[in-house]
Structure 1
Amino acid sequence: DWDLAQLGPDFLKEGIQFIQMASQKKNPFFLYYAPTANHFQRNLNGDYAVPAFLHGEPIRGASKYTDGQEGGEREDMVLENDVAFGALIQKLKETEDPRRPGNKLIENTLIIFTSDNGPNVGDNEGINQESGNLRGKKAKLWEGGHRVPFVLYWNGIFENGQINPNLLSLTDLFSSFARIVGDDLQPAEAQDSLDCLDYWKDPAKTDQRARYFFCHLGPPYENDGVAIRKMSKKVIIKGGLA
């Protein structure tokens, strides 16, 4: 009875239930929501496992490009993610905050939308439409392999649609979150994580800290390499640390 297309609906159901459960307590909560849609979610025949509906919204065959043309199965799965994310935000808007009577959870919740890597399609070192016309793809040190969407919303702090030019690694979330909740990290903790909270709050503030990227994966990638980046400049050394 296993139906791969129902993973998205099941994940969303669990996510909404978790928010509801958390709203019954006065403790802060953390929800890590990692849907599998548009991440190689295919049936044995190679077709994308797209649900017909999600949260009452049509998904299969419902996606469209900005010019009105119909999308395909992969675009349907992007739509699935969009509907799921919207449903979670709507739940936060509707749910009372037990720690702040008269307010909704959305008013005191930090929301982040991001991804883990660039698309696994296109050319290894060329310009790819799938990567937003950046060079390279997943598992490569070029921008197309590592530059991903990162959207923040926090009522009263991040809500004006600003674009922040500073560099951020997902490993930086550890130190940044620790500061938000008032946890003083010890010197041996999160050594590959930088606190970016000040740069989030003030996009005009320039983060000049140099960042190091090391990518070492086995076959079929065979892409040993190291990169050093400071602001808008990046040097890539093929052969890595050999």
Structure 2
Amino acid sequence: MVYILADDLGYGDLGCLNPKSRIPTPHANRLAASGMTFTDAHSPSAVCTPTRYGVVTGRYAWRTRLKSGVLNGYSGHLIDPNRMTVASLLKANGYRTGVVGKWHLGLDFARPQGNPKEFDYARPVENSPNRYGFDYSYVIPASLDFPPYVYVEDGKVTELPTARQDAWKFPAFIRAGERAPGFKPIETLDVLLGKANAFIAREAKGAQPFFLYFALTTPHKPVLPAKRFQGKSRLGPYGDFLMQVDWTVGQVVRTLEEAGVRDNTLLILTSDNGSFMFRLNETDEDHVANPGVQGYRASSHTSAHVFRGTKADIYEGGHHIPYIVSWPARVKAGTTCEETICLADLMATCAALVGATLPDDAGEDSFNTLPLMLGNDWETPRAPVVHHSANGTFAVRDGKWKLVLSTGSGGREKPVGKPGSTPYRLFDMAADISETTDLAAAHPEIVQRLTRVLEGLQKTGRSR
């Protein structure tokens, strides 16, 4: 099993989901044609860290200490070391497990004795992914715009951060901080791809099945496409970067084919949240004419497709993400699924794959999507999906109804609003996927019901 989690990849960034896109994504398109596309998939959060927590644990991150925002590269661990993860579940059931890419869940860098304000990078980190069930790990601490800029392999920093990274402006936005001399942000995606492919090639030769969690650093900032892709899209660096992301997916597929395991490998391509690229007015200068502009006119490109908002927002543009499943041996090619799912569902799905039963204290918000992949209905109907924005704003989705428990976006779109501010807003997602018309006043009974539903999910500590 290979799980590719892109970073800030919008629903409209792939041609197979956005027919109007002019950015070539042939590899993702072929992947979709070979399997099933889920058209109503959602990340557990509209930003990075909480989504990754949900993917790895099957539990909403707002149940932890992280009530809003994200961790940084120096943060302590978010996952309780005693908590079951997707990796520990699969490892216990005979899988070899690996993670390559962006971790962003806290590593706990060692500190010199008596000096809690400094870090000792020569010592192993205290909470590497290996502690959570991964046999192999090669990661960067957080997003590629957060220091320290180092690679961490099996808990050890591969090169000490003795250099200094200057701050850069968008599109190559990056924060100033410590950097290993050999760490070059423009090369990071290729470095990680090499490690991912090596893991696949190595494990495919063994007798055990394997699981690879490949967490891309892209197309998140810094937008730094490799030289061989620069100028190829004619839609600015972001378009070029998307072409590199797509090529990277294609290289993983190629490695699986060369290893002779493509047909029997469940491959999932998805994203941790929506894109950060704004939708601009047609009279505005956009990213095509000026790469320093963080947005497109709709006539150039729509990263959020027809959705409202962007990454960080409680609106669909923040959390309605691509989700493509390809498994030639079992998933019918060219199919779609319109059921509402969440990335937290990976845990229960993996449990079903190996015939395991999740204990009560694991995967509390995870539901088995394997029947959907195989063209059937839910085995256990999914509870309403809870959405969460950058500032901690909640929304709850039940069938066609979505209740936003705030007066604002909770992220980047103005007004931002405060979590829990009233009046709440209600949208009919079947008739109004762009969330243009608030129906709360017309359906107060639905507002009351969904408010109670969310309160129940919060108080019980679980969805299943």
TM-score tier (shorter): 0.7 to 0.9
Contact preservation (8 Å) 1:163, 1:203: no
Contact preservation (8 Å) 1:89, 1:106: yes
Work out the percentage of aligned pairs sharing the same amino acid.
Answer: 26
Q: Structure 1: which amino acid aligns with 2:404?
A: I
Q: Structure 2: which amino acid aligns with 1:29?
A: F
Matching of residues 82-97 of structure 1 within 5 Å:
82-95=246-259
What is the number of equivalent residue pairs in this alignment?
Answer: 208
Counterpart in the other structure of 2:184: 3
The structure 2 residue matched to 1:232, chosen from 378, 394, 400, is 400
Contact preservation (8 Å) 1:226, 1:237: yes
The structure 2 residue matched to 1:172, chosen from 345, 348, 355, is 345
Contact preservation (8 Å) 2:368, 2:378: no
Does residue 1:133 correspond to 2:306, yes or no? Answer: yes
- Distance across 1 between alignment mates of 2:420 and 2:361: 24
After superposition, the C-alpha distances for 1:16-59 in whole angstroms (9 at most, x for unaligned) are 11111102211111111122232102xxxxxx32212xxxxx32
- Distance across 1 between alignment mates of 2:218 and 2:420: 36
Q: Secondary structure at the match of 2:262?
A: helix
Q: Could you tell me the TM-score, scaled by structure 1's length? A: 0.78
- Distance across 2 between alignment mates of 1:191 and 1:76: 39
More strand by share: 2
Contact preservation (8 Å) 2:264, 2:328: yes
Unpaired runs of 5+ in structure 1?
42-47, 53-57, 64-69, 96-103
Shift of 1:76: 1.1
Q: 1:143 to 1:156 in 2, by over 3 A?
A: same
Counterpart in the other structure of 2:230: 60
CA RMSD, 1 decimal: 2.3
Does residue 1:33 correspond to 2:217, yes or no? Answer: no
Contact preservation (8 Å) 1:214, 1:240: no
Shift of 1:92: 0.8
- Distance across 2 between alignment mates of 1:149 and 1:24: 31
Shift of 1:200: 2.3
- Distance across 1 between alignment mates of 2:235 and 2:315: 28
Q: 1:139 to 1:82 in 2, by over 3 A?
A: same
After superposition, the C-alpha distances for 1:103-155 in whole angstroms (9 at most, x for unaligned) are x20011000000011112327xxxx8321120122122211111000000011
Q: Structure 1: which amino acid aligns with 2:405?
A: I
Q: Please, which moves more after superposition, 229-238 or 198-207? A: 198-207
After superposition, the C-alpha distances for 1:170-201 in whole angstroms (9 at most, x for unaligned) are 00011111110122111221111111221222
- Distance across 2 between alignment mates of 1:92 and 1:204: 29
Counterpart in the other structure of 1:98: none
Contact preservation (8 Å) 1:207, 1:231: no
- Distance across 1 between alignment mates of 2:215 and 2:382: 30
Contact preservation (8 Å) 1:138, 1:145: yes
Q: 1:204 to 1:171 in 2, by over 3 A?
A: closer
Contact preservation (8 Å) 1:108, 1:154: yes
The structure 1 residue matched to 2:224, chosen from 34, 49, 65, is 49
Q: 1:234 to 1:154 in 2, by over 3 A?
A: same
Q: Structure 2: which amino acid aligns with 1:89?
A: V
Q: 1:141 to 1:8 in 2, by over 3 A?
A: same
Contact preservation (8 Å) 2:196, 2:214: yes
